[in-house]
Amino acid sequence: MIPNWLMQRAYLTPDKTALSFEDETWTFAQLKKRSMQLAGKLVANDLREGQRVALLGPSNAEMVFVIHGCMLAGLEIVMLNSRLTMKELEWQLKDSEASAVIVADEMSHVVADSAVPQLLYSTIDRSVEQQFDVQELWTADRTITIMYTSGTTGFPKGVRQTAGNHVSSAMSSVLNLGLNDKDVWLCAMPLFHISGFSILVRSILYGMEVRLYEKFDAIRAAAEIRDGSVTRMSVVSLTLDKILRELEKDNTIAHPSFQTMLAGGGSVPVDYLERSVACNIPVLQTYGMTETSSQTATLAAGDAMRKMGSAGKPLFFNQIKIKDTANTGDKGEVLIRGPHVTPGYIGRFADVNPLEDGWLPTGDIGYFDEEGYLYIVDRRSDLIISGGENIYPAEIENVLVAHPNVSEAGVCGREHAEWGSVPIAFVVAAGNVTAEELRLFCEERLARYKVPKEFRFVDKLPRNASNKLLRRELREWVD
């Protein structure tokens, strides 16, 4: 059994700061009070323990209160991505069989045509609280959240994440990162994504303050890292680069109290890691996914420079192996096992077992070095096979972003009559640079067959809400 997260935390450390957003702060006692009020109002709107609701809103303080209100009321929460189209959201609402969609007033038009009843934030606020019994203990298999994957199968999968999944993920993380009484985690990730939601879970379990941004702001983030008002942050390569540029612009470094820049969503270019060292920012690369409730492996702080590019070793409760390999360094699909792995899906894929012989196939290609450190090479679906040679887009992208006049790069394959497929690069320039210059730059650093056959300059690359590159959309651009 697991204690009700917010009830237990508010009992243990009621006066400790739980959340700060813009100019306001809330203690855990205040967070509990506000969330209990909302839970009573949700019950007054005929939502009952065990029902499934969808949630659509911006990543602000009110959404944090609504999330906790739903959990206190015993509701399963389908976290909707606010950047999806009406059609995509409608598919998820129908697939999830949600009883209602709780929606911020300013976003109600996005689901206006849905058959699922809407419950606006303003309607909830006007409701009269109804008394209800709060569960003091949760079973480990209780579904807390449902998040839809990006849909590499053609249809998004609704991934169940249980209380046990979230707790084991948070506990594994703290055993690796450690915990300081003065820790403040800067959350600029969307709360509907596992990277953002997992920070809320850590906050409640650790008794740690979350400094929440509605949207990523490189200037503000760099200032807080420099001034020491935050100690940890989660980023992807793109947001890390933007923060570094702000610090470099003023020739400043991170405050000595800043402990961790947790970098996920793909490999971090070596150039970024070297610049981070110069800015006194400890970057810890991590590897995880929706089906594992965030982190599965993370590179420890002491190994950050010695093992540049590695995602580290599996966290304490987790296991990782490489499918169908016998030797160190052999590349293959990454398989995961542990208490943080989802028990299954809902809706269309409810009957699909996510495991094969007890292991979760990730679709990612990786390998272990001689010391047991994991390296993620690329997504299996993004692999380019050219003339029988495997080409990993991330390797080419990392080379391109090392060029001083390139801010972003994305690579995908294009069909070729002779070679089967060849790499094509999409580049966002940060200065004057030509395709010929980039070709020569790549030829000095890559085998000839890996050098992109075409460079296309674009204003921006397709990314999801967490700023992770969407190579499947690049393939559509090629076509």
Do 356 and 391 lie in one domain? The reply is: no
Do 271 and 408 lie in one domain? The reply is: no
Residue 149 lies in a domain: no
Average pLDDT over residues 377-382: 78
| Integer angstrom CA distances of residue 426 from 4, 245, 292, 400, 442 | 47, 21, 31, 10, 14
Do 364 and 415 lie in one domain? The reply is: no
pTM of the model: 0.85
Residue 156 lies in a domain: no
Q: Find the helix packing angle between 218-227 and 237-249, rounded to 10°.
A: 70
Do 374 and 389 lie in one domain? The reply is: no
Residue 282 lies in a domain: yes
Do 91 and 227 lie in one domain? The reply is: no
The pLDDT score that the predictor gives to residue 86 is 86
> Of 332, 364, 380, which closes a domain?
380
Least confident stretch, 24-38, 121-135, 402-416: 402-416
Average pLDDT over residues 432-443: 94
Question: H-type helices in 270-360, by residue range?
Answer: 270-278
Q: Any residues with CB less than 8 A from the CB of 236 and at least 6 apart, and which?
A: 263, 264, 265, 266, 466, 467, 468
> At 96, is the secondary structure helix, strand, or coil?
helix
pLDDT tens per residue, range 98-111: 999 999 999 999 99
- CATH code where residue 393 lies: 3.30.300.30
Alpha carbons 196 and 213: distance in angstroms, whole number: 11
Residue 237 lies in a domain: yes
- Say yes or no to pLDDT of 379 above 90: no
Do 215 and 288 lie in one domain? The reply is: yes
90 CB-contact burial (10 Å; exposed 0-12 / middle 13-18 / buried 19+): middle
Alpha carbons 417 and 357: distance in angstroms, whole number: 39
Do 215 and 273 lie in one domain? The reply is: yes
Q: How confident is residue 301, by pLDDT bands cut at 50, 70 and 90? A: low
- CATH code where residue 7 lies: 3.40.50.980
What is the CB neighbour count within 10 angstroms for residue 130?
13
Please report, rounded to a whole number, the percentage of residues in the chain having pLDDT higher than 90: 78
The pLDDT score that the predictor gives to residue 197 is 97
Mean pLDDT is highest, among 102-116, 377-391, 454-468, for: 102-116
Residue 147 lies in a domain: no
Least confident stretch, 60-69, 224-233, 283-292, 467-476: 467-476
* Segments forming the whole domain that contains residue 471: 383-478
> Of 359, 380, 401, which closes a domain?
380
The pLDDT score that the predictor gives to residue 154 is 58
Tokens, residue 111: 């689901």
Q: Which letter does DSSP use for residue 35 in this model?
A: H
- Say yes or no to pLDDT of 196 above 70: yes
Residue 150 lies in a domain: no
Interior CA angle at 164 toward 53 and 26, to 5°?
65
Residue 297 lies in a domain: yes
Q: Report which of 46, 12, 233 is spatially closest to residue 124, judged by C-alpha positions.
A: 46
Alpha carbons 122 and 60: distance in angstroms, whole number: 15
Residue 204 lies in a domain: yes
Do 352 and 243 lie in one domain? The reply is: yes
Mean pLDDT is highest, among 251-255, 379-383, 418-422, for: 251-255
The pLDDT score that the predictor gives to residue 347 is 96
Tokens, residue 176: 């690796």
- Say yes or no to pLDDT of 270 above 70: yes
Least confident stretch, 160-174, 215-229, 451-465: 451-465
> Of 380, 397, 415, which closes a domain?
380
Do 241 and 306 lie in one domain? The reply is: yes
Q: Report which of 234, 142, 232, 141 is spatially closest to residue 193, judged by C-alpha positions.
A: 234
pLDDT tens per residue, range 389-423: 778 788 899 889 999 999 999 999 998 877 878 99
Do 49 and 109 lie in one domain? The reply is: yes
The pLDDT score that the predictor gives to residue 16 is 98
Do 178 and 320 lie in one domain? The reply is: yes
Higher pLDDT, 155 or 98: 98
pLDDT tens per residue, range 361-373: 998 889 999 999 9
- CATH code where residue 224 lies: 3.40.50.12780
**Mean pLDDT score across all residues of the chain:** 93
Total count of domains within the chain? 3
Do 226 and 364 lie in one domain? The reply is: yes
Alpha carbons 368 and 312: distance in angstroms, whole number: 9
